[in-house]
Structure 1
């Protein structure tokens, strides 16, 4: 069993040194860093506007993790980072109602988590599996990954009539390095393939003169992140809410799955102790606070779960120290400027793999749970969700001055849940 929540290192009987704690925490920071900073970069690139900030994403990740640790009574070594599931909905929400509506909707996502945690406290968690079985969750995750594919293509420049050779070369190097590290990497490298791909691609792009370092040279050593306060320019847009909030159904299942995996690693059922009601409460409050500050929704990070399995140390104190380090990084002006200057082809190259990984994870859920597609009900649910989610389907309703629109992933999620509940089981007689 992995040693957890103690002052001792597994199998040694010795107290770890301060340096050992620090090195363990840095490994967790490296694991979350690449994905956490990618979310604001991809959202801003896709929307063509500055919706999210990298420093605020780091701060909200660190604060969110500390909130989670408090809510779980320091009993669950989970790190929270920026959620990829909300990328496309945030872009769509911005187009509908602007930046204020995005963060308002994300705060409601956090409230939904809290409400469900209270329901679970009273009724137990078994109903979640009935409401969101693998045949609904798998296609939903596939839609999330595939709907982001055009962003990767445009970042590389493959949608242009003539693609600059530098862009192709940098994207290819970023892609290749990420792929090799993901397949052949050892130790901590195996956990951070996307971060390695960004670093190598960045260096190659800089060598080719594709990086502008003027902002980095002009940056200050310490800069306060530009926090956004939605309550100061409150914008409750029901169309944006209905576009973003239903994705909470998917991330909730992701939350449960990550905790089950970590439970197997540490040898203690986190769904029972500290309990799903506490873990969802922590995740929900973390997302609410993140949105309040102007950051993306938080979610449990499988990358950090892998670090726990690799290091065989599952101390919540290490996770807490990693959260503090992430917050400190957010106040570095030079780091922010360097990250902001990452060229599009670098992001495009690794995004080809990243979005593909997300899609394949949905497929893995279907395979792992042995979803039977000889059963026509499963075919109906999955096929409908994929077509609606990827086909740009939208439903709009108007009542007086109130206009509501549900589209894309949110529509696919809602329809998938309803079809699974309403379509009868196939009769084999």
Structure 2
């Protein structure tokens, strides 16, 4: 892309009059999805916003300010976080996230020495596509439960809230243009929230209490105390001892998911490179962008937030606005951090009814599954080839069916389940079955130059 086709180049500083507006666009684009992940995993939305912002700033620093990418909460880790929390609480999920971040770092080191061809051999589209489908469909029961049920019982009123939220989000995705076309998820949440408020589904007690503190403040000091609220961070060696939590089970629950998010990351970098007409895989290099993703996830794990990943929503903002400035991305990151410390915003997020988030989740989780299908289609994977059909079929049934494997390591019983097991078996099948060249299809997106 020539400079004249850009509103702002990658290293250009926007004028102050437009900087805030451009950054708010990115904040809104990521906001709905980023707060949904902690909402589904019982983590703090405020911490998720802070870790998203700090992770993005770290990413920009590691990539030398050359890749305009925003990082938000990763949907791929929702089920593993829930499983890890069931096993070892929030501390277990954070330790697992930390280990996944270390995998990114190790992979970045390997890529810097050996290039990317070996990685593509391990994670071709025929493996990654079905695993992404498993992520979406595996979360489908969660979305339906949130949309329909209250304490395990069906509620027609709550389902109407979810249905209207879904409808507004769909209409926004299809028909809204310009800035509003970039934030259909946020618009759906707002619309669903307003309807839920009108039918008395919203619990506003926390929001009212926060507002009362602000209005009752009699001095500047009291006002700031009422507005600013430190998020509920979960810090290692302060709130828990990682040594007491780390286990093979936690590692096997969380670490295999990194293979999926790494593949998604590569795809995002390719799309972003195409949009900006810059080869970000060459400069500053895939090893730097993967390292940045990993460091962002490690930062999140040290704060008590969900793992981070590059966001397609924000890539869409770049494509439409043609504003590629990393300073705009950095501005959005700073705003996210500030939002995390504003108490009334935290209470507003906490007051969103489960049915509203369930309605949005129906679409989002379906889009995740469809993205996996699209990866197979875009790369022209031939399911008429028996090896491809076998690999994809086994991954889908094992992942969605909830298969588990129990491994006894000394006195410790380790369970590998669901998506993690499906990913491991998919990688293994791809490496041992013949006709490996068919795993890449006829597309170029994940084509290995020396695929055999």
Q: Taking structure 1 as the reference length, what is the TM-score of the superposition? A: 0.94
In the alignment, does 2:82 pair up with 1:91? yes
List per-residue Cα deviations over 1:295-333 (Å, max 9, x = no partner).
110000011111111111100011001100000000111
1:38 maps to which of 24, 31, 36: 36
Q: Which moved more, 1:334-343 or 1:233-242?
A: 233-242
Alignment match of 1:303 (pick from 309, 313, 325):
313
Q: Aligned-pair distance for 1:424?
A: 1.4
8 Å CA contact 1:153–1:159 kept in 2: the answer is no
**C-alpha distance in 1 between matches for 2:81 and 2:228:** 29
Give the one of 226, 233, 237 matched to 2:232.
226
Q: 1:159 to 1:408 in 2, by over 3 A?
A: farther
Number of residues of Structure 1 aligned to a counterpart in Structure 2 = 414
Structure 2 counterpart SS, 1:230: coil
Q: CA deviation at 1:190?
A: 2.1
Shift of 1:427: 12
Match of residue 289, structure 1, among 299, 314, 335: 299
Query: Are positions 1:421 and 2:406 aligned together?
Result: no
Residues in 1 aligned to 2:73 and 2:357: alpha-carbon distance in whole angstroms:
16
Q: Quote the residue 2:196 is aligned against.
A: 205
Deviations along 1:384-419, one digit per CA (max 9) or x if unpaired, are: 000100111000111332221100000000000000
Secondary structure of 2:408's match?
Answer: strand
- The change in CA–CA distance for 1:402 and 1:163 in structure 2 (over 3 A counts) is closer
CA positional deviation for 1:222: 0.9
Deviations 1:142-172 (A, max 9, x none): 0000011111111122599973332122111
Matched, 1:130 2:100: no
* CA deviations over 1:98-135 (Å, ceiling 9, x no partner): 22111001001111101100110001112121110100
1:47 paired residue number: none
Q: C-alpha distance in 1, partners of 2:183/2:73? A: 15
Q: Show the counterpart of 1:338.
A: 348
CA drift of 1:237 comes to 2.2
CA contact (8 A) 1:61 1:326 kept: yes
Do 1:21 and 1:318's aligned partners in 2 also have CA atoms closer than 8 Å? yes
Give the deviation of 1:230 after TM superposition: 2.7
CA contact (8 A) 2:162 2:359 kept: yes
- Distance in 2 between residues matched to 1:369 and 1:427, nearest whole Å: 12
Gaps of 5+ in 2: 211-225, 439-452
Tell me the alpha carbon deviations over residues 237-285 of structure 1, each in whole angstroms, 9 at most, x when there is no partner.
2112101110000000111111111111111000001100111111111
Whole-angstrom distance in 2 between the partners of 1:86 and 1:230: 20
Residue 381 of structure 2 corresponds to residue 381 of structure 1: no
Post-superposition offset of 1:348: 1.3
Contact 1:97 1:237 in 2 (8 A): no
Match of 1:268 among 271, 278, 284: 278
CA displacement 1:347-389 (0-9 Å, x = unmatched)? 1111111111110000000000000011000011000000100
Give the one of 252, 257, 264 matched to 1:247. Answer: 257
Q: Specify the SS of the correspondent of 2:227.
A: coil
Q: Does 1:118 align with 2:109?
A: yes
Residue in 2 aligned with 1:48?
none
Q: Aligned pair 1:168/2:159, yes or no?
A: yes
Contact (CA 8 Å) 1:114, 1:285: kept in 2 or not?
A: yes
Deviation at 1:193, TM superposition (A): 1.3
Q: Cα 1:156–1:395, aligned 2, differ >3 Å: closer, same or farther?
A: same
Query: 1:185 aligns to what?
Result: 176
Q: Which moved more, 1:125-134 or 1:200-209?
A: 125-134
User: For residues 66-99 of structure 1, what are the alpha-carbon distances to aligned partners after superposition, in whole Å with 9 as ceiling and x for unaligned?
Assistant: 0001101110000000000000011111112222
CA distance in 2, matches of 1:350, 1:167: 13
Aligned to 1:12: none
For residues 162 and 57 of structure 1, the distance between their equivalents in structure 2, rounded to whole angstroms, comes to 30
Matched residue, 2:25: 27
**CA distance, structure 1, for counterparts of residue 362 and residue 149 of structure 2:** 12
| Match in the other structure for 1:65 | 56
Q: Answer yes or no: is the 8 Å Cα contact 2:92–2:250 preserved in 1.
A: yes
Instruction: Measure the CA separation in 2 of the matches of 1:260 and 1:408.
Output: 29
Matched, 1:7 2:12: yes
Within 2, Cα distance between the matches of 1:173 and 1:131? 42
Structure 1: any 5+ residue segments left out of the alignment? 9-15, 45-51
For residues 27 and 100 of structure 2, what CA distance do their matches in structure 1 show?
25
Q: Secondary structure at the match of 1:313?
A: coil
1:195 aligns with 2:186: yes
Q: 1:367 is matched with which residue?
A: 377
Look up the SS of the partner of 1:4 in the other structure. coil
